Amino acid sequence: MDSIAAISTPMGEGAIAIVRVSGDEAFKVVNTIFKGKNLEAVPSHTIHYGFIIDPETNEKVEEVMVSVMKGPKTFTREDVVEINCHGGLVSVNRVLQLVLNQGVRLAEPGEFTKRAFLNGRIDLSQAEAVMDLIRAKTDRAMNVAIGQMEGRLSKLIRGLRQTILETLAHVEVNIDYPEYDDVEEMTHKLLKEKSIEIKNEIEKLLETSKQGKILREGLSTVIIGRPNVGKSSLLNSLVHENKAIVTDIPGTTRDVIEEYVNVRGVPLRLVDTAGIRETEDIVERIGVERSRQVLKEADLILLVLNNAEELSDEDRRLFEAVSGMDVIVIVNKIDLNSKLSLDEVKDLAKNYPVISTSLKEETGIDLLEEAISSLFFKGKLEVADLTYVSNTRHIALLNQAKKSIEEVLSGIEVGVPIDMIQIDFTRTWEILGEIIGDTVHESLIDQLFSQFCLGK
């Protein structure tokens, strides 16, 4: 493969910036612009002080530390050089340009990780976990990504695929060398036992998918309520920052405000909406329509009520709007004289948790955070050795594999010929292979890695 280079640190001012070079020509190329030790002669996995120079003018461009790592004991399994520059836009870009001038190609997004996959260092699910780790917003999400990077999911998938291969081999032996008259019955029995075993393992993985997907993508959480019940105050309390304007004037929030927040290890994509009400104000009406739209896409609804006012028809309509969704009801302003009928609220809430808060006095937030964590994870997330499926692509493929193995079982029940059943059994093997990249198309690989950041 040709040699590639890219800046592997975020753009902007900082202590250091790193230009990463990978490929057969990495040492030779950097040597031509490095004034210091001969990088082609130094031991692997060492770092060296020197200067980057412009070979045409012999001008010193940057004072650097250069890391040298010889393949295959590198991330890409190729020779890798990392040039540690001073952080800043001008210096690091100038160093990168000098590297590119020596005939190195600018890396595509995710190309370093793609090379690690193509060179067999990691499989596709591990490669995707690299991006999950970068994007993790909580410790729990990070731990799930690390587990996948270490190959937990890969090991399970490979085990299932091996079971399928061994079963298919037994079936072929039974068909080609029948020692007993009831060979067909024995073959059906073997296929059924193994299919049930595989189906159960797939279902175990799918059971973790809801929690895993939430950890990976965040829980879309929408705060709704009439104007001036404390929605923006709730957003500020959860974020621990004044992100939303809070006033006593109804309709202050004119648009949807979105913010990520970590609630006891659960990442919330928190959305504060304009108060849902009928209004003549054109700008506020647009905000109300956007609020209705995000409501449809929400994973969790925080419905805020005002303890100091009687329950209104608008409040009752909000309960109707969120019927059948995951909802936590928040009775706010308990520091004021109560005019709200808690009995009616609990009747409308049905099985929804009802939390009382005074956001002004910062009381009740702990109870709310506990309710959010319990509603979605119910204490199960602390199982350290559990393998979580969080990637949407993996979840879709596991569902396909489950459907395929169910077709095997259905075929056995109705007496479908063995060779037809084998087709579905083999299809299950192929679908599972797509998760780890063993049976995936090149176009999908290109698409997946294009979503990575440049330099990773």
- Sheet arrangement for strand 59-69: 34-35, 46-54, 59-69, 80-86, 16-22, 4-7, 105-106
Domains and CATH numbers, the chain: 4-107 (3.30.1360.120), 127-208+389-449 (1.20.120.430), 218-381 (3.40.50.300)
Encoded amino acid at 415, one letter: G
Query: Two tokens at 208?
Result: 């973790």
Share of the chain residues as helix, strand and coil, in percent rounded to the nearest 5 = 45, 20, 35
Query: Two tokens at 274?
Result: 């304009």
What is the spatial distance between Cα 345 and Cα 356, in angstroms, rounded to a whole number?
12
Burial class, 398, CB count within 10 angstroms (exposed 0-12 / middle 13-18 / buried 19+)? buried
- The one-digit pLDDT tens for each residue of the chain (456 residues) are 789 999 998 877 788 999 999 999 999 999 999 999 999 999 999 999 999 999 989 999 999 999 999 999 999 999 999 999 998 888 899 999 999 999 999 999 889 999 998 898 988 888 888 877 777 766 667 777 787 788 888 899 999 999 999 888 887 766 665 555 555 666 778 888 999 999 999 998 888 777 777 777 777 888 888 878 887 788 888 876 544 333 343 443 334 456 777 777 777 878 766 544 444 455 445 555 665 666 777 788 899 999 998 888 888 888 888 888 889 999 999 988 988 888 888 888 888 899 999 888 888 888 888 888 787 666 444 444 456 777 788 889 999 999 999 999 999 888 888 888 888 899 999 999 999 888 777 776 777 777 777 777
